[in-house]
Amino acid sequence: MPEAAVHLKTLAKMIDHSLLHPTMTDADILKGCDLSRRYDVATVCIKPYAVAMCKEALAGSDVGICAVIGFPHGNSTTALKVAETEQVIQDGATEIDMVINIGKALGGDWDFVAADIDAVNRACVSQGALLKVIFETDYLQDEHIVRLSRMCSELRVAFVKTSTGYGFVKQPGGDYNYKGATDHVLMLMRQYSAPEVQIKAAGGVRTLDDLLRVRSLGVTRIGATATEAMLEDAKRRGYA
């Protein structure tokens, strides 16, 4: 039997339903909005151009709109990230998932990284939106993750987030893959983030057991494409 205190709605409201694959058509995105409305998830996580369309599609529902910024590699200038943030909030986004400048973090230019995050966070806060800062942890070492967690806490962002789902690393065999939200990374982020900073796990959370496991580690939001499978499994297991 499921935990008594965990309801189906609690699990659904942990999910940002991801609609970010570059091949997705508008029809695909609108189908994802229908699914998100049906399961009453937290948000749809979408490309900037689709915000106005999704706002209209989700009108009257309790599903929010999360737009990605500087996605997926984080290499836009800070000014462009801020402008993109302001535009999507104007179009109807209430949450922003921003990718850090990964090369700057790896190169140790922490002043740049902090200023980049701070500028976008200020743009969010001034308009009542929440910022989630994507680290892309597959590219980082533990010391980077610790420093970023502390930095985001000092800047008072709403969430820190593991991955884009597109941070592919070349493997020894020559193919590309990624690990995403590993338990190790999530525990580091939770340990070194302030208590009020929430954790979003993205990349590799594909089953209900994955969702329940990361929840036990302190995660309050996930990014997922397997939303329907997870929540239907929850129903089968007796979550109500």
Positions marked catalytic:
97, 161, 200
| Residue with token string 């995105």 | 29
- 128: helix, strand or coil: coil
| Residue with token string 């973090």 | 105
117 Cβ neighbours under 8 A, 6+ residues apart: 98, 100, 131, 133, 151, 152, 155, 157
CA 65 – CA 134 distance, rounded (Å): 17
- For residue 13, the cross-strand partners are none
- For residue 133, the cross-strand partners are 98, 160
Phi, psi values for residue 64, rounded to 5°: -85, 175
And the tokens for 139?
């590219």
Of 73, 72, 81, the closest CA to residue 115 belongs to 81
Of 181, 219, 187, 185, the closest CA to residue 203 belongs to 181
CA 33 – CA 238 distance, rounded (Å): 25
- 75: helix, strand or coil: coil
Is residue 147 a contact partner of residue 100, using CB atoms and an 8 Å limit?
no
